[in-house]
Amino acid sequence: MSSYDVSEETTRSGRRRAAAGRAVPRRRDNTTISPQEAPNRRNTELAMLAFAVLLPVLAYANVGLAMDGKLPAGMLGYGFGMGALAMVAHLLVRRFAPYADPLMLPIATLLNGLGVVMIWRLDKAGKLLKNNYPAAENQLMWSALGIAGFIGVMVLLKDHRVLQRYTYISMVVALVLLAAPAFFPSRDEDFGAKIWIRMGSFSIQPGEFAKIILTVFFAGYLMVKRDALALASRRFMGLYLPRGRDLGPIIVIWLLSLLILIFENDLGTSFLFFGLFVVMLYVATERTSWILFGLLMSVGGAVAVASTASHVKVRINAWLDPMAVFGPNRPQGATEQIGQSLMALGSGGATGSGLGQGRSWLIGFAAKSDFILGSFGEELGLAGLMAIFLLYALLVQRGLRTALAARDPFGKLFAVGLSSAMAIQVFVVAGGVTGLIPLTGMTMPFLAQGGSSVVANWALVAILLKISDSARRPGAEPAPATEGHGGAAR
């Protein structure tokens, strides 16, 4: 063998030893992570974003042609504005979360864009819409602020596990946010609900932000206490019943939700927070008995409050007989909006009347907010509503998939909580509009008019993307110890 062959063989063996010594990045299922996976994910996201921007622009053009017979003057500006915001968000994700899920950002962009188009369409109804005032420009501004908040989370939240340090601080902050609206007067159009903080022309709904902050507390608390909560003292009818002293946390949360409902007449927020805690408790402990206790407590609390709070009683009566308001014996304090929404859904049929060709303005001033699903149902029909629900289902599914992939228990519970909050809110709003459950007054995420809701939900998606990136990033550091600062549990 020549000296050249010997040296070449030595070089090859050295390369093999070096390659064998290097750790190959792998997923949790022991499959190898390709270096091209991150670019591929972001390229997929970019392609989906182009579709997510194009579809609302086409819907915008459709509304203009249907109502005015010509393309709207602001179509190109709207398209470029939404496209620019989406591109900035995409570039920040590509830079700060390259391994994140590629579908969450396009889905949020598409829902947000369609919501702005429907609000603009109802603005066009003009005097036909009772108490009408233009809201599309404000919604577009809030959408820009929401994406700015999305960017802020991307840049500033280096590691979601840092939030675990502020478990009990987040509980205090959430309670302050929930209690604050009780000290501010409500308006007649709020129908007795005190869920807003108003200072002049500025208003904010702190409950939308409290759902994220409270999820931080739930995730941090349950991560530390899940072993004790999973213990069972006895078995009854096939269910493992928790120990009496372990019922304390769920009873406290139950009473808190009742207090919110009583003092602020906010049925939706109470249901959201209590349902969120029960779901996270079940995921943490895998005890079906917690679901049973949660359902019994929620039903008992709803019955007790419905029999005493006139505001809730009116909504339940409207749910039981939504058409009574159109009869000769109109119930006192009843509103036509629920009945009008059901008629709008019915007139839409399977395929809808077409964008810009419905009469959903008959629903009233809440056609842009609480009842925007009724507006979509009339003009897009059952097929369009199912497509919207599938978008929400896919967004929630990607969040739960992120929870499964997360490497730390706090991240798992946090992702489950954020995804569950989105799912519960969609169910509560859709159930109220379609007559499945009593109306709660919450807003549909991304679709409905409401600055607080848009900003909070963009922040929620950003946090899920950061958890997703951490879960799929090769060579990620192990989760830190549960010991933290700022009042975290030890």
Do residues 452 and 209 touch, judged by C-beta distance below 8 A? yes
Does residue 148 register a pLDDT over 80?
yes
Listed residue (262, 256, 248, 259) closest to 276, CA to CA:
256
DSSP 118: H
Band of pLDDT at residue 32, cut at 50, 70 and 90? very low
Instruction: Pick the range with the lowest mean pLDDT from 122-126, 179-183, 334-338.
Output: 334-338
Is 25 a member of any domain? Answer: no
Tokens matching residue 370:
């609480």
Is 308 a member of any domain? Answer: yes
Is 246 a member of any domain? Answer: yes
Amino acid of residue 429: V
Does residue 5 register a pLDDT over 80?
no
Task: Give percent of the chain with pLDDT exceeding 70.
Answer: 75
Band of pLDDT at residue 465, cut at 50, 70 and 90? very high
Tokens matching residue 168:
């009990």
pLDDT in tens, 277-312: 888 888 888 777 777 777 777 777 777 766 666 666
Does residue 8 register a pLDDT over 50?
no
Cβ neighbours for 50, distance < 8 A, ≥ 6 positions apart: none
The larger pLDDT score, comparing residue 76 to residue 33, is at 76
Do residues 301 and 256 touch, judged by C-beta distance below 8 A? no
Vertex 52: Cα angle to 79 and 354 (nearest 5)? 80
Give the pLDDT score at 106: 96
pLDDT in tens, 88-141: 999 999 999 999 999 999 999 999 999 999 999 888 876 555 556 678 888 999
Tokens matching residue 332:
């006192």
DSSP H/E element including 15: helix 3-21
Is 477 a member of any domain? Answer: no
Give the pLDDT score at 356: 85
Q: What is the spatial distance between Cα 61 and Cα 71, in angstroms, rounded to a whole number?
A: 5
Give the pLDDT score at 25: 42
Band of pLDDT at residue 334, cut at 50, 70 and 90? low
Is 355 a member of any domain? Answer: yes
Do residues 138 and 452 touch, judged by C-beta distance below 8 A? no
Instruction: Pick the range with the lowest mean pLDDT from 90-94, 153-157, 329-333, 396-400.
Output: 329-333
Q: 428 to each of 164, 423, 431, 440, how far by Cα in Å?
A: 29, 9, 5, 7
Look-up: residue for tokens 């507006």? 375
Does residue 3 register a pLDDT over 60?
no
Is 489 a member of any domain? Answer: no
pLDDT in tens, 378-422: 999 999 999 999 999 999 999 999 999 998 999 999 999 999 999
Q: What is the spatial distance between Cα 315 and Cα 311, in angstroms, rounded to a whole number?
A: 7
Q: How many residues does the chain have?
A: 490
Give the pLDDT score at 481: 46
Q: What is the spatial distance between Cα 269 and Cα 260, in angstroms, rounded to a whole number?
A: 8
pLDDT in tens, 38-78: 678 889 999 999 999 999 999 999 998 988 888 888 888 88
Tokens matching residue 451:
């600055």
pLDDT in tens, 340-382: 888 888 888 899 888 888 887 777 767 888 889 988 999 999 9
Is 171 a member of any domain? Answer: yes
Average pLDDT, the chain: 79
Does residue 214 register a pLDDT over 60?
yes
Band of pLDDT at residue 473, cut at 50, 70 and 90? confident
The larger pLDDT score, comparing residue 7 to residue 173, is at 173
Is 124 a member of any domain? Answer: yes
The total domain count for the chain is 1
Q: What values do phi and psi take at 484, rounded to 5?
A: -140, -170
Give the mean pLDDT of 228-238.
Answer: 66
Helices (H), 69-166: 75-96, 104-123, 136-156
Do residues 164 and 463 touch, judged by C-beta distance below 8 A? no
Q: Which domain does 286 fall in, by range?
A: 36-472
Do residues 454 and 139 touch, judged by C-beta distance below 8 A? yes
Query: Concatenated DSSP letters for 266-321?
Result: -HHHHHHHHHHHHHHHHHHH--HHHHHHHHHHHHHHHHHHHTT-HHHHHHHHHHH-
